[in-house]
Amino acid sequence: MNEGEGLQLDDEGRLRHFLTIEGLNRQTLLDILDTAESFISIGEREIKKVPLLRGKTVVNLFFEASTRTRTTFEIAAKRLSADVINFNVGISATNKGETLLDTINSLEAMHTDLFIVRHSDSGAAYLIARYLPPHVRIINAGDGRHAHPTQAMLDTFTIRRYKGDFTQLKVAIVGDILHSRVARSLIHALNILGVPEIRVIAPKTLLPTAVEKLGVHTFHDMSQGLEGVDVVVMLRLQRERMHGALIPSAQEYFNLFGLTRDKLAAAKDDVIVMHPGPMNRGLEIDSSIADGPRSVILPQVTNGIAVRMAVMALIMGGQTARNRRPV
């Protein structure tokens, strides 16, 4: 059992925290996807609430800015009827010398039941999970370059809704693999779910050493890498995590690795295009693709609410699509 698995699962193999995709089994991922499917219709109701987390307190604790992720977590928690607190780290005591664990302990003393944590340091969510009481839960909303597990689940949920069977797909992930926690988590999820061919397409300077050990095929040419693929996942260029000149210029990067109609023509006719956001239009992706008929970027955002509802329901009460009553 690896470190993540030991912290994430209880003695019966159920999710206790959601820190990483790595180490989880296929059935656990399918439980999340199936439970999310059962929550999709809630967003279409006049009253968009179910009582699963009524009386529970959820704290969004974001040490990194992220409007999309924080907002979808907030909406998800409120749709489950939880009380939600958005903790403004910018004006908190952490700027006055208080440590991460001091902050967590103070908030836990206010009877918090679930923390949604985003932090620039890899492993921050693990650190918190080790020191909290057993009844308090943690969801990792992104830690450094390490993991972004709910993004991986909303991406795989979107892929399944459009493509169905994972075992027949070719998926290409394009861009800054080196700095991307999204890419790492998605690669783990796709492998666990049985995708037979995962490709990464990037300049050599934006690929981790020995990336093939993750179970991917590497390409440095877009035309070759996109040949015959079913799904294209474009990544944001992680400029804030770069050190040194890893790309020659923004224009050259777009010319070689930006997604355009000409490059996308190499993929299958029914290819779908995804992006975790926020997009750098004209750098990673052309607007004609981002807003075009093959794009499912906005549905990804919508799906993220249902997926995050599913993860919260699972770790707070073991609710799955298999055992949850209609509400």
Residues with catalytic roles:
68-69, 96, 118, 148
Contacts of 4-7 spanning 24+ positions with Cβ under 8 A: 4/126, 7/126, 7/129, 7/130
Cβ–Cβ < 8 Å for 308, 150: yes
Query: What are 223's two structure tokens?
Result: 């035309």
3-state secondary structure the chain: CCHHHHHHECCCCCECCECCCCCCCHHHHHHHHHHHHHHHHHHHCCCCCCCCCCCCEEEEEECCCCHHHHHHHHHHHHHCCCEEEEEEHHHCHHHHCCCHHHHHHHHHCCCCCEEEEEECCCCHHHHHHHHCCCCCEEEEEEECCCECHHHHHHHHHHHHHHHCCHHHCEEEEECCCCCCHHHHHHHHHHHHCCCCEEEEECCHHHCCCCHHHHCCEEECCHHHHCCCCCEEEECCCCHHHCCCCCCCCHHHHHHHHCECHHHHCCCCCCCEEECCCCCCECCCECHHHHCCCCECHHHHHHHHHHHHHHHHHHHHHCCCCCCCCCC
Query: What are 311's two structure tokens?
Result: 């993860």
Q: In what order do the strands lie in the sheet with 170-174?
A: 217-219, 197-201, 170-174, 231-234, 272-274
